[in-house]
Amino acid sequence: MRPQPPPGTLDDLDLLDPHLHASHDLTPLWRRLRATDPVRRHDTFWSVTRHADVLRVVRDPDTYTSLRGNMLRTLLRGHDPGAGRMIVVTDGPRHAVLRRVLTPGFGPRTLGPVTHSIIEATRGLLKALLREGGGDFVQEVAAQVPLRAICELLGVPERDRQRVLELTAQAMLGEEGTGVAARIAQSEILLYYTRLAAERRSAPGTDVISLLVSADLTEEEVLLNCYNLIIGGDETARLALAGGLLALATYEAEWARLRADPGLVGTATEEILRWTTPAAHVGRVATRAAELGGRRIEAGEVVALWTVSANRDETVFDDPDRFDVGRRPNRHLTFGHGPHFCLGAQLARAEIEALLVELRASVTRIEVTGPVTWLPSNFVNGVATLPVALA
């Protein structure tokens, strides 16, 4: 268990510091902000921590735009280079166009075969971990399943997938800093998809890249949306899978409850999504002056929507700091809401459900065997290493 933040005033805590999020459990801080200062002004941005206020912002892209970016790091620097071309940082008609292009790639017809592959991959990886007696669940299972799924959707050949995983990990670490390795990884990912997109133009298939290249999009839009899908589809699902296993290992009574009742797989999946909240915040910029939570937000000001706090809001969730595999209702905001609701929501659910089904079928005991480390990030939320033994 991570310690709570050090004592002091709210002004003493730097929410931009990625190491603060890795080294401390900020649950008490979010609770305090929701109760006393739910829309709080910092030096360079506003923090929004209540479920209702977060919901209000994401439902109103006219007032709170994503066109300058959707994470604090890029917003406070002034501009996201993918703005207006990458689906997560577009609004209005262009967002609608990109969504229409991409939606078929995440529909039931496409996800059916991918879901079957997810189940087979999860079963095989868990069996290997059982044979070995344990290992790092993040590297051995959680990092592998989402990569296979998103690579299958994008049509990435099997021979390239491990390298794509390595580059993705390096690129995401760079979201919190300016490391040379991270920038190189981001460039290599874009170069890789340049080559793959060229192949699909001459020989289109049924994958998502083929959908992109066959639409009326620029080459930059194709590449940026490929980059967004591989980063978002891999990283967030990996964190949900790893955090879900950690929750089951920590709350043994809930694991026993799930093992005894297969009907809880669906609600347990939603609870893992709420409990882990892989995207800690979503950023927006006010396009005009507006009132939010009793505060006046001026045009041009940056707003950070702390989903990790909204998903523990006591006015929405009964006993929110309790992990409950049977929680109903569960109105979490892990996938967002409104125009930017996550395209990959059903894919993420399929990955978590596959893990829970296979765990129930083959595992009786989950034991954490060493130190758990957390990602140093204010944007993505979750464990970096999770040593476990499975019996």
Q: pLDDT tens digits, the chain, 391 residues: what are they?
A: 788 887 777 778 899 999 999 999 999 999 999 999 999 999 899 999 999 999 999 999 999 999 999 999 899 988 888 899 999 999 999 999 999 999 999 988 888 899 999 999 999 999 999 999 899 999 999 999 998 898 889 888 888 888 877 887 777 664 444 578 878 888 888 888 899 999 999 999 888 999 999 998 998 899 889 888 877 777 889 999 999 999 999 999 999 999 999 999 999 999 999 999 999 999 999 999 999 999 999 999 999 999 999 999 999 999 999 999 999 999 999 999 999 999 999 999 999 999 999 999 999 999 999 999 999 999 999 999 999 999 9
pLDDT at 172: 64
pLDDT at 148: 87
Its CATH architecture, for the domain 10-390, is Orthogonal Bundle (1.10)
What is the distance between the alpha carbons of residues 340 and 96, in angstroms, rounded to a whole number? 10
Nearest to 74 by CA among 171, 207, 172, 176: 176
Phi first, then psi: what are they for 26, rounded to 5°? -90, 10
What is the distance between the alpha carbons of residues 143 and 294, in angstroms, rounded to a whole number? 42
pLDDT at 177: 44
CB 190, CB 227: distance < 8 Å = yes
Q: Long-range CB contacts (< 8 A, 24+ apart) of 196-205?
A: 196/154, 196/155, 196/156, 196/226, 197/222, 197/223, 197/226, 200/155, 205/155
pLDDT at 252: 97
State if pTM tops 0.85. Answer: yes
